[in-house]
Chain A
Amino acid sequence: MNIIAYIAVVIFIVGFICKVRVWTKVPAPLKIVTTPAPITYPGVILRMASEVFLFRSLFRGNKLLWLGGWIFHISLLFIVLRHLRYFFYPVPAWIMSLQTIGIYAGYIILLPLIYLLLRRWTVEINSYISNAMDYFTLFLIIGIAFTGILMKQYIRVDLVDVKAFMLGLLTLHPTISPGDILFLVHFLLVLFLILYFPFSKLMHAGGIFFSPTRNQRDNAREIRHITPWSNI
């Protein structure tokens, strides 16, 4: 189990970095920002922030999907933050203060997940564009959420064990993993998700920052935009 965890994490980190490195290295030879666009850097930061935190373009595109997507992501954020308690000893106060909301988020997240799934299934245009991996990703996350809720609500696992195990992993002094099946399933699904992450559309988490239509300034006439190959 320890080995699997390390492999997954290493693949995630290396994979993520490789992909981002490629994106950084490939030049954007032309100004292709979608206008109206900000002219200054602070403006670009504002625009990017509105996309990253508020999903502005998605909001304009599809309100219901926006709602589903936004609730999903914000829940996910709180869930991840809540889980940080398993990696710290002692647990910082701010993480402790997020426990309740994190737990709620753990339940709430099922709603948008089911909505997203039903949407792919039932809405004609969405079912047309969905491929096997789109469903797989959703099922994977639903599985993670579901086993998490089971552990929290019905079949309690020994959290002291879990915490010792996680801290062991983190400090590179691996211990024996807890024997609890439910925990193992939950943990393995998460490992699979992060292993799969760099090879999948989940990379949208990084890609959004590299999108030239969003991160460029609209100043083509004022400042000459050149990249190594475009100045031939």
Chain B
Amino acid sequence: MVSEKIEAPILTGSITVPKIKENASIDQKCHHAAEKHMEKLGFPGVKPVDWKEKALKKMKELLKKYRSLKVYLDTCVRCGSCADKCHYFLGTGDPKNMPVARQELFRKIYKRYFTVEGKVLGGLTNAEDLTEEVLEEWYTYFHQCSQCRRCSVFCPYGIDTAEISMAAREIMDSIGVGQKYCNEVLGKVYDLGNNLGMPGPALRNTLDFFEEDIQETTGVDVKLPLDVVGAEVLLVSPSADFFSAPHVDSLVGYAKIFHKAGISWTLSSYASEFANFGMFIGSYAVMKKVATRILDEARRLKVKRLIVGECGHAWRVGYSFWNTLIGPLDFLDPKYPIPQHICEFSLDLVNSGAVKFDKSANDEFTVTYHDSCNVARATRMGDKPGGQFEIPRALIRACCNKFVDMPDDVNREKTFCCGGGGGLLTEEIMDLRVKGTQPKAQALKDLMESHQVNLMVMICAICKAHFSHVLPHYGIPMETVGGVHQLINNAIVL
């Protein structure tokens, strides 16, 4: 197992810029996708002999399709404002994890083949030939970017390294060099509708189990409906909500709030996944295909509203991309946002008085909130900018007595990635993931010591999975990780 190699950095009490350690994380390489997983997504199964030409051709195509890519490659001045903002650099010290250096891996090839200055001045502009070594470097370091966009916040031109790593991954996929974790998961969605590869009957069993459990603990008959045609709401939630701790507690929270609100709702076995890893691999086509399942199901079930569960990157896809990818979703009720986040939905009910909480049910917790990167920097909730920060916090405050916010430099749009986003939630790079968690772990540890915080809630399935796995390396118990609707689950008066 890889686990022996994991060393959690020591928390020093502050988030500091490390000394550069060349190749410090070069051994943290994601497994390659197998032939069948590549082909399932429409990519070549193996690397062709003329891979170089094909890669450059793809690059040329993308440069004509994405303004972000083109402008960002042309515009960076290497000022270094982003350099110390990436959690993977802060955690590993590997200089290629500085966002600007990560971009340079791409930019040097772009310069060499697509710019006058690169062709004329060559190495002086850092231009470099595309070789096997470069491809290796690409594979390694573009899979050490969680596409969290923190670098973009601090760049004077808004250069978003995530756009570049998405393009790089798409190019690599187009020459048969794909990443196992994402592509395998996407294959399962193609086949069965969710990342876990869980078929409909298994899902029904799980939901039955939750219903019994709620019945036992509360005495109330709360339903978790599946595939109900004509329900008012289709709830699409990350499939981790059906299976993993602490995710399930939030799922039960959603169920209770629907029950209390008296709004008919349903889950779907065909569209049983909110996550959309098509974004991680930078593929518009795959992303669209995955999203289309949800469109089809919303039509088939004749629902009027689309509400989505706690998942960060998927909220980005839902909020920012669905309208483009599968819109216009004009058969849904225009009185409500399309899609609507479960937090928006729940807070409306709280504000209208339709649900009530017994805050003391959460008294054992002093709660803090982790802003997940995609929610914070790529979406909104409500109708005002920054609603993505205020709405979850308002919900938390409504259902618990003790809430402490994170310090400014790691909060809201300056939040750090958990360390496992962007398609990196895979075991073989555990050492990298642990190190990437350092900044947020530091902030949490401080709050645990200064304010006795013992629960950090969030609205992202990946954050939850990653943190519960990794925080123990920092001596923080996994139970410290929770979901916002988990608090609701505890406190709602049924």
Which A residues fall within an 8 A CB radius of B? 19, 22-23, 26-32, 34-39, 51, 55, 57-58, 60-62, 65, 69, 119, 123-126, 128-134, 136, 199-201, 203-204, 207-208, 210-214, 218, 220-221, 223-226, 229-232
Contact A125 B68 (CB under 8 A): no
Query: Which of B19, B67, B414 has the most chain A CB within a 10 Å cutoff?
Result: B67
Contact B84 A125 (CB under 8 A): yes
Contact B378 A208 (CB under 8 A): no
Contact B95 A212 (CB under 8 A): no
Complex CA–CA separation, A218 to B319 (angstroms): 10
Contact A203 B323 (CB under 8 A): no
Stretch at the interface among B31-39, B118-126, B260-268, B449-457: B118-126
Please name all residues of chain A whose beta carbon is closer than 8 Å to the beta carbon of B98 when the two chains form the complex: 125, 128-129
Please name all residues of chain B whose beta carbon is closer than 8 Å to the beta carbon of A136 when the two chains form the complex: 124
Besides the known contacts A129-B98, A220-B323, 11 further A-B residue pairs in the complex with CB atoms under 8 A apart: A23-B71, A23-B74, A34-B149, A34-B377, A61-B85, A61-B153, A69-B79, A204-B77, A211-B68, A211-B72, A221-B338
Question: Could you list 22 A-B pairs, sorted by A, with CB under 8 Å?
Answer: A27-B66, A32-B378, A36-B389, A36-B413, A51-B157, A61-B154, A62-B80, A123-B80, A124-B20, A129-B98, A131-B78, A133-B124, A199-B117, A204-B75, A204-B157, A207-B75, A210-B67, A211-B157, A212-B67, A213-B149, A213-B160, A221-B338
A126/B80 contact (C-beta < 8 A), A26-B65, A35-B388 known: yes
Contact A207 B71 (CB under 8 A): yes
Of chain B, the residue at the smallest CB distance from A199 is B117
B367 at the A/B interface (Cβ < 8 Å)?
no
Please name all residues of chain A whose beta carbon is closer than 8 Å to the beta carbon of B239 when the two chains form the complex: none
A60/B157 contact (C-beta < 8 A), A23-B70, A34-B378, A221-B319 known: no
Complex CA–CA separation, A134 to B79 (angstroms): 10
Contact A27 B158 (CB under 8 A): no
Complex CA–CA separation, A232 to B64 (angstroms): 16
Please name all residues of chain A whose beta carbon is closer than 8 Å to the beta carbon of B319 when the two chains form the complex: 220-221
Stretch at the interface among B202-210, B216-224, B379-387, B417-425: B379-387
CB within 8 Å of A: which of B85-123? 85, 95, 98, 100-101, 104, 115-117, 121, 123
A201/B328 contact (C-beta < 8 A), A26-B70, A211-B158 known: no
Please name all residues of chain B whose beta carbon is closer than 8 Å to the beta carbon of A132 when the two chains form the complex: 123-126
Complex CA–CA separation, A129 to B76 (angstroms): 11
Sorted nearest first, the 9 A-B pairs with minimum C-beta distance are A61-B154, A207-B75, A61-B81, A213-B158, A36-B385, A214-B158, A199-B117, A58-B156, A132-B124
Contact B324 A220 (CB under 8 A): yes
Contact A124 B321 (CB under 8 A): no
B55 at the A/B interface (Cβ < 8 Å)?
no
Complex CA–CA separation, A192 to B83 (angstroms): 30
Contact B64 A26 (CB under 8 A): yes
Min CB distance, B61 to chain A, in Å?
A: 10
Contact B68 A38 (CB under 8 A): no
B17 at the A/B interface (Cβ < 8 Å)?
yes
Of chain A, the residue at the smallest CB distance from B388 is A35
Contact A65 B19 (CB under 8 A): no
Complex CA–CA separation, A175 to B386 (angstroms): 60
Min CB distance, A77 to chain B, in Å?
A: 16
B163 at the A/B interface (Cβ < 8 Å)?
yes
B286 at the A/B interface (Cβ < 8 Å)?
no
B155 at the A/B interface (Cβ < 8 Å)?
yes
Of chain A, the residue at the smallest CB distance from B153 is A34
Contact B124 A131 (CB under 8 A): yes
Contact B71 A35 (CB under 8 A): no
Contact B385 A35 (CB under 8 A): yes
Contact B153 A60 (CB under 8 A): yes
B225 at the A/B interface (Cβ < 8 Å)?
no
A35/B117 contact (C-beta < 8 A), A29-B284, A30-B320, A213-B160 known: no
